[in-house]
Amino acid sequence: MKSNRDDLALICTDQLFLEFSVAEREEVWQQTESRKYANTSARWNAYLNCLCLNTFLSYLESEPDLHSKPQVWPQRNELPSFWQVLNGTAIEVDKTRLVLIPTEDSEFAQLCVPREWVDIPDWAGNYYLAVELNLSACSMRVCGYTTHQQLRRQGKYDCFDETYCLETEDLIEDLSVMWAAQELYHSTILEVEPLPTLSASQAQTLLQNLNKATAYSPRLDVPFSQWGALIAQPQWRQTLYSRQQQQLDIAPTPNKTLINLGQWLQDVFEVGWLSLDAFLNTDSGNLVPASGFRQGKLTPRNVAVEGVKLIDLGMQLGNQSVALLVGLTPEAEQKVGIRVQLHPTGGKMYLPPNIKLALLSQGGKILQEFQSRSQDNFIQLKRFICTRGKHFSIQITLDNFSIKENFVIELQDD
């Protein structure tokens, strides 16, 4: 009996199908486990990228028509500093750069390339390859490729996730077309606008601000112009990676940062949070809200103040993000009513299926938990009341990804 993978190979005759052994898969996992990464999302991203890289390199090295041996860019020992913060791996064949973008999603409809691989001049690739990994079947499928020019001109720039996305139907499936173009025209000189220059003091300030233990990549925490200029420099990128490793050595369990909701009533929000009005009205590149926020899904809200935070779900999900919305209503006797919702972002209609939103007690006990279905526009917790000094947490979980926001109610005395 043929497997689904065999059936797919018969249907997608122009696509490249490769296999790896169970031993090779486990060896890559052991290698990944032996390295320190800032969070589980980064470790899983490194695992997928390393497995994809090894398998594709084996394929390239077996190709008799290649004139030179493919090389990992920049060097294999530098790859962890890339995989710590974003998806993708670059290979150079002659003077042509290929960027592999792996995913586990067997039903992905778009190739989503992190902006770093497109808009950092020294990183930009000539070709971007969409690669689907099937870990259980020990196989991977190169679904197709696109060029830098096509990605910039035809791809949709998602300023919320800082990615360029192209529909899979617009990809060229047959890699022989890519090799023929490379043979005939050699590598095209890419036109990429230079990024602003960072001074040493600006870089050190950024490194200090980004030097914290988090459950997600910090790539969306600062404007891309600063982020791109920072990690484009090998020494600063390596410094960021090394400092995050040191944070793990110093504090294996990150310090519990408390968000004081009482300050929100004074219109004071912590770093990473915005009022809902500011979120909807900002024209910052990182904060373009999903259409759902503008279609009345949040009304009637009956709250005094609302805060929103963008949550990056991790690189194995293509850095897809959701918006955590927390609304407050002052009650009698120094109590506060709280509503919590989770919304899709970046113009997406629905939340990822099976994402969980939970309310946890100070001791970590789950008090409420809701899970999204295949076509949920948003999910929410039941409204609850907190008293002054009360601690609680909101947890978002999806597959291997989990993040927790910790809150306290400290009201200002009259």
Q: 154 and 215 in one domain?
A: no
pLDDT reported for residue 139 = 96
Q: 272 and 161 in one domain?
A: no
pLDDT reported for residue 382 = 95
Q: What's the pLDDT tens digit per position in 142-171? A: 999 999 999 999 999 988 789 999 999 999
pLDDT reported for residue 184 = 56
Q: 61 and 21 in one domain?
A: yes
Q: 62 and 17 in one domain?
A: yes
DSSP 3-state of 44: helix
Confirm whether 191 is domain-assigned: no
- Domain edge (last residue) among 185, 211, 237: 185
Q: 208 and 132 in one domain?
A: no
DSSP line for 189-223: PP--PPPPPPPHHHHHHHHHHH-S--SS-GGGSS-
Confirm whether 192 is domain-assigned: no
DSSP line for 273-342: EEEHHHHHH---TT----GGGGTTTT-S---SEEEEEEEE--GGGTT-EEEEEEEEEEETTTEEEEEEEE
Handedness of CA 399, 400, 401, 402 (dihedral sign): positive
- Domain edge (last residue) among 185, 210, 232: 185
Rg, C-alpha atoms of the chain: 23
Confirm whether 48 is domain-assigned: yes
DSSP 3-state of 58: helix
Please name the residues in contact with 77: beta carbons below 8 A apart, sequence gap of 6 or more.
none
Q: 263 and 242 in one domain?
A: no
pLDDT reported for residue 13 = 63
Show the domain range for 209. 200-250
Confirm whether 194 is domain-assigned: no
Q: 114 and 16 in one domain?
A: yes
Q: 178 and 111 in one domain?
A: yes
Amino acid (one-letter) located at 236: W
pLDDT reported for residue 249 = 56
Q: 267 and 243 in one domain?
A: no
pLDDT reported for residue 257 = 74
User: Cα–Cα distance between 224 and 159 in angstroms, integer?
Assistant: 10
Confirm whether 151 is domain-assigned: yes
Confirm whether 289 is domain-assigned: yes
Q: Which of 175, 176, 182, 180 is nearest to 145 (CA)?
A: 175
Please name the residues in contact with 178: beta carbons below 8 A apart, sequence gap of 6 or more.
127, 145, 172
Q: Note down pLDDT in tens along the chain; length 414 residues.
A: 344 444 444 445 689 999 999 999 999 988 998 888 888 888 889 999 999 999 999 999 998 777 789 999 999 999 999 999 999 999 999 889 999 999 988 778 899 999 999 999 999 999 999 999 998 899 999 999 999 999 999 999 988 789 999 999 999 999 988 887 776 566 677 889 999 999 999 999 999 989 876 777 889 889 999 999 999 999 999 999 988 877 665 544 444 578 999 889 888 888 788 888 888 775 333 333 444 444 444 444 567 899 999 888 866 566 678 899 999 999 887 789 999 999 998 778 889 999 999 999 877 889 999 999 988 999 999 999 887 778 899 999 988 788 899 998 886 655
Domain count, the chain: 3
Beta strand 96-103 pairing with 127-134? parallel
Confirm whether 286 is domain-assigned: yes
- Domain edge (last residue) among 250, 268, 290: 250
pLDDT reported for residue 294 = 45
Q: In this structure, are residues 325 and 343 in contact, taking their beta carbons and an 8 Å threshold?
A: yes
Q: Which of 212, 203, 204 is nearest to 250 (CA)?
A: 212
Q: Kindly report the backbone phi and psi dihedral angles of residue 401, in degrees, each rounded to the nearest multiple of 5, phi listed first.
A: -95, 140
Q: 384 and 315 in one domain?
A: yes
Q: 65 and 174 in one domain?
A: yes
Confirm whether 357 is domain-assigned: yes
Half-sphere exposure of 265 (CA within 13 A, CB side): 20
Please name the residues in contact with 51: beta carbons below 8 A apart, sequence gap of 6 or more.
20, 24, 25, 28, 102, 133, 135, 140
pLDDT reported for residue 340 = 96
Q: 314 and 233 in one domain?
A: no
